[in-house]
Amino acid sequence: MNSISATSGEGKKRQKVLFSFFFFLKYWLYPFLK
């Protein structure tokens, strides 16, 4: 975790993209999962 925090810029960018992708996937697959 510390290694990722060290690169604050890239770490935050990566986390944001990952979160956005996960949210999009969840929203898109929601009807299929129901």
Write out pLDDT tens, residues 18-32: 999 999 998 888 888
Give the H/E segment covering residue 27: helix 8-33
What are the sequence ranges of the domains in the chain?
2-33
Which pLDDT value is given to residue 1? 53
Average pLDDT over residues 4-33: 83
**Residue type at 11?**
G
Which pLDDT value is given to residue 34? 67
Average pLDDT over residues 1-12: 67
pTM of the model: 0.48
In angstroms, the CA 9 to CA 24 distance is: 23
